[in-house]
Chain A
Amino acid sequence: MIRIENLHKRFGGLEVIRGIDLHVTPGEVVCIIGPSGSGKSTVLRCINRLEEITAGRIIVDGSDITDPKTNINQVRAEAGMVFQQFNLFPHMTVLQNVTLGPVKVRRMKRAAADTLGRELLAKVGLAEKTGSYPDQLSGGQKQRVAIARSLALQPKVMLFDEPTSALDPELVGEVLEVMKRLAAEGMTMVVVTHEMGFAREVADRVIFIDQGVIQEEGPPKAFFSNPRNPRLKDFLGRVVANL
């Protein structure tokens, strides 16, 4: 579904990603963890070309996104993105936020898009909020709208960039719950997160990125109970100490 080969990314003189290979298969849930500034969000943002890559190759659902002939808008519609800061459109109602993509990108009829939008909002538990504006919602509700907005394009893969990091602690659970259900339905997901509990419970594979490279990866059980890489040990030690 996603194949990343020898990815490099440089911001000015700073090489943030220094050679990453990653292969995500359909239906797989991959969690990426690592200290801040390690490059984990950048990897995610490269996948739908919100960041231009410096070197390497990224193939999403069969399309080489670095190829100038690829229609990047089509690829982006296949890869839903959920942001840490939600980035809902404040001038639109919740339903309009969700239906904009289907109507403008998928050329869906307004009525069909509204039906789809209502279904998805019901699915994330916000059926009664269709007419509200984003600033009338809590953080957790905003993030669930953002998830519905991405799902409305019926993407093949969902990318989550620290989806719960901007939330008050008591609102984290409702968002993770929606993500768990998505995973259970077989959605391919790449999740950059600090929620170790979520990674342990939901991920098929956990990846630890530090200093721009993958330091360790594996199924969550072995990954968390028996980390080999000293940096990962150190990182997990600090994360647990903070809990």
Chain B
Amino acid sequence: MGFKFQWGVVLETFPLLLSGVKLTIIITIGGLLFGFVLGVATGLMKLSRSLPVRSLAGAYVEAIRGTPLIVQVMFLYFGVPMAVGLRIRPMTAGIIAIAVNSGAYIAEIVRGAVQSIDPGQIEAGRSIGLTRAQTMRYIIWPQAFRRMIPPLGNQFIISLKDTSLLVVIGVAELTRVGQEIIAVNFRAFEVWLTVGIVYLMMTLTIARFLRMAEDRLAQRGKR
């Protein structure tokens, strides 16, 4: 066979991947920003006293968690425009897909964290005359938020990696750029290895930021 690893290809590939890295980061940040808002809203809806509100939130979460992301992406990009007669740009579709997908998982993180707070905290808040909303805002949420950080970090990393699936709708993100390079130089081993290393650098960066955030919060006030 005579395969010979070429360091030169790795070094050449790095700068070529930069445009893909940029798009991957934009889609991840955009998707997670909307996904976080969506997830918090859905998570709180799942805690609502109203059954219709809870059911609506539950249906969304189950639908997303129960179907593959790649199907969601293709449905959104190829399916929905057919039905509504409106084309969306691949980039927009990508951000929406990541937002809708991460939103469902973040909703469960939010719900779990809020429910993990001792019910005595709610009673104490209510007993000093705070309303339900005030108790949520001043007492439950700040404590729940701390508990959300580790699982949120996980979700951020998963969503970043999930952007690679957008290759199927032709978004020129990192994985797509890697494919294009290989189409020219046929060095699959070196290029995919390099692409993998670049993803790893990004996920390790997220992990480090989250550890810093955790330490910061742990310093003021314990538990």
Contact = CB atoms under 8 A, between A and B. Distances in A.
A50 B222 contact: no
Contacts of B142: 91
Contacts of A136: 222
Interface stretch (B90-98, B99-107, B131-139, B176-184): B131-139
B118 A91 contact: no
Interface stretch (A23-31, A53-61, A76-84, A195-203): A76-84
B115 interface: no
Contacts of A91: 142-143, 146, 221, 223
A135 B223 contact: yes
Contacts of B146: 91
A11 B94 CA distance: 50
Interface in A75-108: 76-77, 79-81, 83, 85, 87-93, 100-101, 104-105
Contacts of A42: none
Given A104-B130, A105-B130, A83 B124 contact: yes
B66 interface: no
Contact of A48 (B118, B127, B139): B127
B205 interface: no
Interface in B108-133: 118, 120-121, 123-131
A13 to B, nearest CB: 22
Residue of B121, B138, B221 with most partner-chain A CB within 10 A: B221
Interface of A: 48, 50, 73-74, 76-77, 79-81, 83, 85, 87-93, 100-101, 104-105, 133, 135-136, 146, 149-150, 152-153
A85, A88, A90, most chain B CB atoms within 10 A? A90
B218 to A, nearest CB: 11
Given A83-B123, A87-B118, A87-B120, A92 B128 contact: no
Contacts of B126: 50, 73, 76
Given A88-B124, A89-B124, A89-B139, A105 B129 contact: yes
Nearest to B126: A76
B195 to A, nearest CB: 42
A81 B127 contact: yes
A181 to B, nearest CB: 21
A150 B221 CA distance: 21
A87 B129 contact: no
Nearest to B123: A50
Nearest to B134: A104
A100 B129 contact: no
Contact of A77 (B120, B129, B143): B129
7 contacts: A73-B126, A83-B123, A87-B124, A91-B143, A91-B221, A101-B129, A150-B127
B166 to A, nearest CB: 39
A86 to B, nearest CB: 8
